[in-house]
């Protein structure tokens, strides 16, 4: 589409954060949100958002989308498990960086 001309309904683009957007009659909207609203048959509530199950923002297939509610936390046990997983991931990254530093010496 030429610069300076309005995009037609249905046009798409990917923003700098990797989110895919689609032009609607009401303006631009995130494609993953549009897909979830279509599945639900309604617009999202202000406290709802859509999460990518596999973390891939280019995979906006409905099977990869999960409706979440802001402030709706999992059980304390689930949160602890998530924290433990992050600690393990960060520890592995730290060890990798220390190895790289040691090999440069």
- pLDDT confidence of residue 40: 93
Residues 62 and 84 in one domain: no
Domain that holds residue 97: 73-105
Beta strands in 1-105 (DSSP E): 12-14, 20-24, 27-30, 48-52, 65-69
- pLDDT confidence of residue 73: 63
The reply to whether the predicted model has a pTM over 0.75 is no
Dig out the tokens for 24 from the structure.
């609607």
Residues 54 and 85 in one domain: no
Residues 55 and 78 in one domain: no
Dig out the tokens for 90 from the structure.
């960060």
Residues 83 and 61 in one domain: no
Taking only the tens of pLDDT, the chain with its 105 residues reads: 567 788 899 999 999 998 999 999 999 999 999 999 999 999 999 889 999 999 999 898 999 999 988 876 666 777 788 888 899 999 999 999 999 999 987
- pLDDT confidence of residue 64: 92
């Amino acid at each position: 589409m030429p610069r300076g001309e309005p995009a037609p309904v249905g046009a798409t683009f990917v923003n700098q954060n990797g989110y895919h957007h689609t032009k609607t009659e009401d303006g631009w909207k995130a494609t993953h949100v549009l897909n979830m609203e279509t599945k639900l048959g309604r617009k999202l509530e202000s406290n709802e958002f859509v999460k990518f199950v596999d973390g891939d923002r280019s995979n906006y297939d409905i099977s990869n989308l999960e409706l979440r509610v802001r402030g709706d936390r999992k059980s304390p046990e689930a949160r602890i498990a998530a924290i433990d997983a992050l600690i393990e991931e960060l520890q592995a990254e730290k060890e990798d960086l220390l190895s790289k530093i040691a090999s440069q010496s």
